[in-house]
Structures are given as C-alpha cells and as structure tokens.
Amino acid sequence: MNPLIYLGDSNKYTLSLGLCSPFSQLGVAWGHPMAACVLFTVPTFATFVIAQRYFFSGVAAGALKG
C-alpha cells in the first residue's frame, strides 16, 4: 500500500490500488473486480507467451561464463 501514501490523486492510482478502491466495510460485489483482474492479467500473460523464447534465451546467455 506504499503507492497509496505517495499518490494523493485517485486518477494516478496504480492498477492494484484502483482494484481495491471500491471495496468497503459493507461488502463487495466480486463480479466486477474479478473481471477487471482478468482484463488486466490477460495482456501480460499473452506478452509473456509470445516473447517467452526471447526471455529465456536472454537468461541463458547471461548465465554463461566467458
């Protein structure tokens, strides 16, 4: 929750803070936050799947000594 300390304007919140902001003590309708989590996760996962070979070849190249 450190970004909450530094960001005073709700328009500059990170994704995680934006997802937590509609929660209240009275209860949460979980449908919309879960759909938002899926929508935020899918592009990251798709990018990883597409560029997976480049990530791992870079890690392997950096691990070799010489």
pLDDT tens-digit profile of 6-22? 887 878 888 777 777 76
| Three-state secondary structure string covering 4-55 | HHHCCCHHHCCHHHHHHCCCCCCCCCCHHHHHHHHHHHHHHHHHHHHCHHHH
Considering its fold, how many domains does the chain have in total? 1
Q: Which domain holds residue 34?
A: 2-63
Average per-residue pLDDT in the chain? 79
Does the pLDDT value for residue 64 go beyond 70? no
